[in-house]
């Protein structure tokens, strides 16, 4: 019972922190504000998270874990590999938007949290590569895709998706992300994925 109460309290803290970071940016949020949002004494907040950095790290981890859980559900569905790939990328775009909102910060703030993102994404990218490779392998096995090296193609797809994110969001270090840029990012990402899928579904002649 105590462990469950502790987990519930941590979840409450992370939800409040996520809202604060998304609305005001990492550099402007204080531990006092997070504690006040949930009616908790600051000392109690420090019991669960010793620093603001620790809370931010847990918020990012929570977003990643939720995405990976949803991605597993996509992979478990019966259906075409094409549909699984498109749904996976749609989920990924939603994650990108949420994490971009969390990192809408001034240059100094980004300097503070960049190591957190770099560290957490090392493990996250490993899982992503596994999941996208699995989709491609399923498509190859069913005859839906014609390809020789699923893992290399999965790596290429992920690299391009990361590049598209940088193309649209790198400049947003001091202002909110423009809605039109969010829409263009989504359009170009889906266009890329659909183009790749069209290519995979055609037998290449040498």
Report how far residue 116's alpha carbon sits from residue 126's, in angstroms, rounded to the nearest whole number. Answer: 16
- What is the domain partition of the chain in residue ranges? 54-200
- Dump pLDDT digits (tens) for 152-181: 999 999 999 988 877 766 654 444 556 777
Question: Which of 129, 131, 147 minimizes the C-alpha distance to 139?
Answer: 147
Say whether domain 54-200 belongs to CATH 1.10.357.10. Answer: yes
State the average pLDDT over residues 114-130: 86
Question: Which of 70, 1, 27, 40 minimizes the C-alpha distance to 15?
Answer: 40
pTM across the whole model: 0.81
Report how far residue 88's alpha carbon sits from residue 91's, in angstroms, rounded to the nearest whole number. Answer: 5
- Dump pLDDT digits (tens) for 29-69: 899 999 999 999 888 899 999 999 999 999 989 989 999 99
């Amino acid at each position: 019972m105590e462990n469950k109460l502790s987990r519930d309290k941590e979840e409450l803290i992370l939800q409040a922190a996520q809202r604060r970071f998304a609305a005001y940016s990492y550099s402007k949020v204080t531990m006092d504000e997070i504690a006040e949002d949930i009616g908790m004494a600051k000392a109690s907040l420090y019991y669960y998270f010793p620093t603001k950095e620790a809370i931010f790290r847990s918020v990012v981890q929570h977003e990643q874990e939720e995405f990976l859980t949803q991605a597993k559900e996509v992979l478990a569905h019966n259906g075409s590999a094409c549909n699984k790939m498109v749904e996976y990328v749609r989920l990924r775009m939603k994650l990108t938007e949420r994490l971009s909102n969390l990192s809408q910060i001034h240059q100094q703030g980004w300097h503070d949290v960049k190591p957190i993102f770099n560290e957490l994404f090392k493990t996250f990218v490993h899982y992503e590569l596994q999941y996208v490779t699995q989709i491609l392998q399923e498509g190859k096995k069913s005859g839906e895709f014609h390809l020789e090296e699923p893992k290399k193609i999965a790596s290429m797809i992920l690299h391009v998706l990361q590049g598209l994110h940088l193309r649209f969001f790198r400049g947003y270090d001091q202002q909110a992300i423009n809605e039109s840029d969010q829409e263009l990012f989504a359009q170009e990402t889906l266009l890329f994925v659909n183009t790749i899928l069209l290519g995979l579904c055609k037998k290449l002649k040498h």
